[in-house]
């Protein structure tokens, strides 16, 4: 992910205040810079790093900030920086691996406006939005929706209806996707390459609608109530119409069961696998974390049956420190 610094979005793709019915400059002040520090021994330190930087969006009058969860997973310290340079420490309130959302509570007064939660349900291809990082207009993109579709992530992540926008924002993590009335419609998560004739960089955002049913749980429990999904700890991708294991999380269920990079995932129980989304749904349909997942894999010309005892992903993570 692009690091913060002395940079600006090209003026040609910056939003212009006259194009919006709300006070653009005032609205953009609700987006803050977020930096976090993760212990060296944290489970996610090797893949995500120990120093992470991105954005957050103030969504509550009390300084509650919404961000993308990978920025704060296992964080031992979080700092929030307003558009005018003021800083405040933050405390990790909650993280949800299913949606990817993370919440931080500012521990000092931010005195910033908060963005109301809107809805992405009505967004269609061609609709114009603003993708905003911290720093005002110079770090915001006048974007439009280029796709609404399913997204399957190699880290056992799935969105049924993600939002894809262009032009791409270079500092996308935790950026605010702002709707036509100045409301929050999504949170920036990834930068991807759009295939086909365009072959351009685009952003993927998590729809804000996914936050509303879990917001109370995240703010009171730090997680979503109920049994967690089964987690295998493998990284998989689609290659030549097959789902292939490309890596394993250390000490995770998949490694313990002797799955290996290069294994082709053929079936979950009696369900044949045709794509990554189908694989994930088949695993999750078996039951909660702890369930044994019967996998059929193809390896070196052989077909193998490998049972994997799934786990709760959160048990591998360092819990946030209390303040």
pLDDT in tens, 141-170: 999 999 999 999 999 999 999 999 999 999
- Domains of the chain in start order, with CATH, are 1-226 (2.40.10.120), 234-316 (2.30.42.10)
Average pLDDT, the chain: 95
Give the pLDDT confidence score for residue 236 in this predicted structure.
98
Tens digits of per-residue pLDDT, 32-90?
999 999 999 999 999 999 999 999 999 999 999 999 999 999 999 999 999 999 999 99
- CB–CB of 176/163 below 8 Å? no
Where does residue 117 rank: exposed (0-12), middle (13-18), buried (19+ CB within 10 A)? middle
Give the pLDDT confidence score for residue 11 in this predicted structure.
95
Length of the chain: 323
- CB–CB of 280/234 below 8 Å? no
Q: What are phi and psi of 276, to 5 degrees?
A: -65, -40
- CB–CB of 174/73 below 8 Å? no
Give the pLDDT confidence score for residue 79 in this predicted structure.
98
CA dist., res. 19 & res. 127, Å (int): 13
Give the pLDDT confidence score for residue 44 in this predicted structure.
96
Q: Is the pLDDT of residue 202 over 60?
A: yes
CA dist., res. 17 & res. 72, Å (int): 32
**Token code pair at residue 279:** 């694989």
Tens digits of per-residue pLDDT, 306-316?
999 999 999 99
Q: Where are the beta strands (DSSP E) in the chain?
A: 31-37, 51-58, 64-68, 77-81, 87-95, 101-106, 128-132, 140-153, 157-166, 176-178, 184-194, 200-207, 234-239, 242-248, 264-268, 271-272, 292-299, 302-309
Q: Is the pLDDT of residue 215 over 60?
A: yes
CA dist., res. 169 & res. 190, Å (int): 10
Give the pLDDT confidence score for residue 2 in this predicted structure.
40
Give the pLDDT confidence score for residue 321 in this predicted structure.
61
């Amino acid at each position: 992910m692009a690091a913060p610094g002395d940079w600006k979005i090209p003026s040609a793709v910056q939003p212009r205040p006259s194009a919006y019915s709300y006070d653009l400059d005032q609205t953009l002040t609700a987006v803050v810079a977020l930096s976090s520090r993760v212990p060296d021994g944290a489970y996610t330190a090797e893949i995500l790093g120990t120093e992470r930087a991105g954005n957050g969006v103030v969504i509550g009058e009390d300084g509650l900030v919404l961000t993308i969860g990978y920025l704060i997973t296992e964080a031992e310290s979080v700092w929030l920086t307003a558009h005018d340079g003021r800083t405040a420490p933050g405390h990790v309130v909650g993280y949800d691996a299913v949606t990817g959302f993370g919440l931080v509570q500012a521990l000092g007064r931010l005195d910033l406006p908060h963005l109301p939660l809107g809805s992405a349900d009505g967004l269609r291809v061609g609709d114009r939005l603003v993708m905003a990082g911290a720093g005002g207009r110079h770090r915001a993109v006048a974007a439009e929706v280029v796709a609404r579709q399913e997204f399957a992530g190699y880290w056992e992540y799935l969105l049924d209806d993600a939002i894809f926008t262009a032009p791409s924002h270079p500092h996308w993590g935790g950026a605010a996707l702002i709707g036509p009335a100045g409301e929050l419609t999504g949170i920036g998560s990834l930068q991807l390459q759009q295939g086909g004739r365009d072959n351009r960089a685009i952003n993927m955002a998590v729809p804000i609608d996914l936050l509303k049913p879990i917001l109370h749980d995240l703010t009171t429990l730090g997680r979503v109530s109920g049994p967690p999904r089964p987690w295998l700890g493998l990284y998989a991708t689609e290659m030549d119409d097959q789902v292939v294991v490309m890596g394993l999380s250390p000490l995770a269920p998949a490694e313990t069961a002797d799955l290996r990079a290069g294994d082709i995932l053929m079936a979950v129980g009696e369900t044949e696998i045709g794509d990554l989304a189908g694989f994930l749904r088949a695993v999750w349909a078996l039951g909660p974390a702890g369930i044994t997942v019967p996998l059929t894999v193809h390896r070196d010309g052989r077909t193998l049956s490998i049972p994997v005892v799934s786990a709760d992903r959160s048990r591998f993570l360092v819990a946030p420190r209390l303040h």
